[in-house]
Amino acid sequence: MNLETIEMKAFVPARDLAESIAFYEALGFAVTMESDDLAYVQHGKTAFLLSQFYLREHAENFVMHLLVENADDWHRNVEASGVVDRFSVRVSTADDRPWGLRDFTLIDPIGVLWRIGHVLPG
């Protein structure tokens, strides 16, 4: 029996697929496939699917976690990208967490919460 897995991806909700694509591209993600209701979004070795599906209660309770090499660099990238003003999104400061990560939150245009962080040494 071979139970090897290949990958796992979340279907991240999008109310307006074009707006969500523009948001993630502004952050440096690449959209490598796009249809009327779905987009394959990548950054490095990570990927997720943007789905033209919106239910407010679902979107505002959806959380993604992105583990990166340096959360402070990512925070600077978010600030420099202009997404906060362009898409009226919220970003927190980067802080050390008691669970061993330094991270910050970013809320996308429809309310999806992203926690972007790196593992603290030690």
pLDDT in tens, the chain (122 residues): 999 999 999 999 999 999 999 999 999 999 999 999 999 999 999 999 999 999 999 999 999 999 999 999 999 999 999 999 999 999 999 999 999 999 999 999 999 999 999 999 98
Could you tell me the two tokens for 53? 């599906």
**Cα–Cα distances in Å, from 108 out to 118, 119, 122?**
20, 23, 31
Q: What is the pTM of this model?
A: 0.94
Q: Which of 12, 101, 92 minimizes the C-alpha distance to 52?
A: 12
Query: Going from the N-terminus, what domains does the chain have, and what CATH number goes with each?
Result: 11-119 (3.10.180.10)
Residue-level pLDDT at 122: 82
Q: Which of 15, 7, 8, 87 minimizes the C-alpha distance to 51?
A: 15
